[in-house]
Structure 1
Amino acid sequence: MTTRSLSLALALAASALAYSPAFAEPLKVVASFSILGDMVKRIGGDDVAVTTLVGPNGDAHVFEPTPRDAKALGEAKVLVENGLNFEGWMPRLVKTSGFSGEAVIASTGVKPRELTPEEQALEEAEEAHEHAGEKTAEAAHENDHGHDHGSVDPHAWQSLTNGAIYARNITDGLAKADPAHASDYRKRGEAYIAEIKALDGKIRAEIDTVPEDQRLIVTSHDAFGYFGQAYHVRFLAPQGVSTEAEASAQDVAKIIDQIRAQKIRAVFVENISDTRLIDQISRETGAKVGGALFSDALSPADGPASTYLDMFRNNADEIVKALKTS
């Protein structure tokens, strides 16, 4: 082979390698909030580059997208969002960004938890309170795109059974958008789902050590309905399923009366919530403030809930500990 032929062969080989799946750029994925971002990273591995819009300790209920977020979404090939009206700001962001890739609704296939009449009434009262006095056209426009979840609880990831559904939907979405790495996504997805199911069994066993009539927890915001449904724990919250509005004095007083009547000794604050509400309840009832629970967001990397599975381990451990000492 001549020197020229050898050079041409090497150039063609290098070109083929550059366009092979092994040397392709990672799939650009945007996840709406940190819990979904972690799931995408676990399933996508090195084959994805993930941008998470609402990061650790962030509150998706009150999130306002920036031009930078719109740019990231416009460049992405996949969007992973929760659905169930959780990201009320997402339709505007998608329109602004011009996103045209694969949209994955992680909660597809989940059986939504309908809000109880009491929860629905609280939600409506808080929204009315939040929007009272907003008279300007700008405020009215914002309200048209608010964070109303309707009659459905959007926090479906708070059941590990649902978490496995989320993981399956994310796996399928990545595989569809990037067929060259589909087998890798499915392999990692199956391994991740197996971890989720194993943790689910462990948590059920731990919570079963507490008599069911003693499983009563107070949290600042009503984000644990699916957890309560899955693991037979009753949660009370002075704030509705959204953190967007403050709880009324009447709702707080009702919770305080119930804590006193039922002698509840432990209350929890969440990582996305203002601690003042729970501090007030603790002062007026003598109930002990337990460790932090993580509802809508993970902790930073150096915290106790930096992944979805760690979040569940932390929450279950804190709840069981509180129930056993109350």
Structure 2
Amino acid sequence: MLLACVLVLAGCGAGPEPADPDDPRPVVLATFTVIADMAREVGGDRVRVESITRPGAEIHDYEPVPGDLVRGADADLVLDNGLGLERWFEQFVDRSEARSATVSDGVDVLPIAAGEYRDRPNPHAWMSPVAGERYVANIRDALVELDPAGRDVYTANAAGYAERIRQVGEELRADLGRLPDAQRVLVTCEGAFSYLARDMGLRESYLWPVNSDAEGTPDQIASTIAVVRDDAVPAVFCESTVNDSAQRQVAAETGARLAGPLYVDSLSEEGGPVPSYLDLLRHDARVISDGLTGAQP
């Protein structure tokens, strides 16, 4: 009866439409668009990849809809980020018999520095190209386990894709490396750039550590205003999936420019500024560099 109810309600959710049910390829279901893009690069034509969330969706507090549960039941493999990103994931996989793999396994994890999630893993590891290569290796291994006959395809695709990520990482270092020491302060809404800041030698500051109910409190705003004033930060940033009103207040109080948006938790639609993971990394590096050097977008 429960399954029947879920099937009836499947069309009521806001999740993406499922692909052709007559497609015989294994179905790989990723929790959000960044992982889905990676899986498509590694899987190539041998698998059908879908994302639970649409482009532009906020991933932390996403609530699976009935249609998601149906798609999870039909999937052959579910890929999640882990590190506490998908707070809803456990209840989702409990209702699916699909294989699952956590693509962040093995990354060099950074802790969250403040707030209610202090000392828990910062989940945004994909913002580091170095960690991105580990994601690719984990996706490759999961696909090989799912479809051993495709081992050579997945291995070759993963190797080529990892090399492209490595090259983008070198581009980011060159782009952000031109920032003077006094301008190497990255002030964002969410603390989602710890891994990128570590890789690129940036100092990180933010309004809130992880997207939650407590976003843009008076204390957070006052603390961020102090950082921007003390370090004469020329530009502050906010992510595409969150409300930037608190950061606008910081900019108004300090005279800093609100630059961006930056992309973290979601890709854009095809034809948008960041339709792929590699585009996301390049876009954010360019926006950060231009904002902190005063270049006009």
Query: Under a length normalisation based on structure 1, what TM-score does the superposition of the two structures give?
Result: 0.80
**Gaps spanning 5+ residues in structure 1: where?**
1-23, 125-147
Partners of 1:225 and 1:283 lie apart in 2 by: 25
**Residue of structure 2 aligned with 1:104, choices 101, 105, 126:** 101
One-letter code of the match for 2:45?
Answer: D
The size of the alignment, in residue pairs, is 274
Contact 1:61 1:244 survives alignment (8 Å) = no
**Gaps spanning 5+ residues in structure 2: where?**
1-22
Shift of 1:150: 5.6
Matched, 1:254 2:223: yes
Matched, 1:270 2:239: yes
Query: Under a length normalisation based on structure 2, what TM-score does the superposition of the two structures give?
Result: 0.88
Contact 1:80 1:105 survives alignment (8 Å) = yes
One-letter code of the match for 1:195?
Answer: R
Matched, 1:113 2:110: yes
Could you list the per-position Cα deviations for residues 212-257 of structure 1 after superposition, in whole angstroms to 9, with x for gaps in the alignment? 3420121111110111111111221111222443232011111112
One-letter code of the match for 2:211?
Answer: S
Taking the TM superposition and a 5 Å limit, the aligned residue runs for 1:197-212 are 197-212=166-181
Aligned partner of 1:34 in structure 2 is: 33
Could you list the per-position Cα deviations for residues 42-82 of structure 1 after superposition, in whole angstroms to 9, with x for gaps in the alignment? 11122111221122111111200011101111111111100
Partners of 2:48 and 2:57 lie apart in 1 by: 20
Aligned partner of 1:66 in structure 2 is: 65
Aligned partner of 2:154 in structure 1 is: 185
Taking the TM superposition and a 5 Å limit, the aligned residue runs for 1:48-67 are 48-67=47-66
Contact 1:114 1:152 survives alignment (8 Å) = yes
Contact 1:218 1:237 survives alignment (8 Å) = yes
Structure with the bigger percentage of helix: 1
Identity, % of aligned positions = 31
Shift of 1:107: 0.4
Aligned partner of 2:279 in structure 1 is: 310
SS of the equivalent of 2:190 reads coil
Between Structure 1 and Structure 2, whose CA radius of gyration is higher?
1
Shift of 1:101: 2.7
Partners of 1:54 and 1:150 lie apart in 2 by: 27
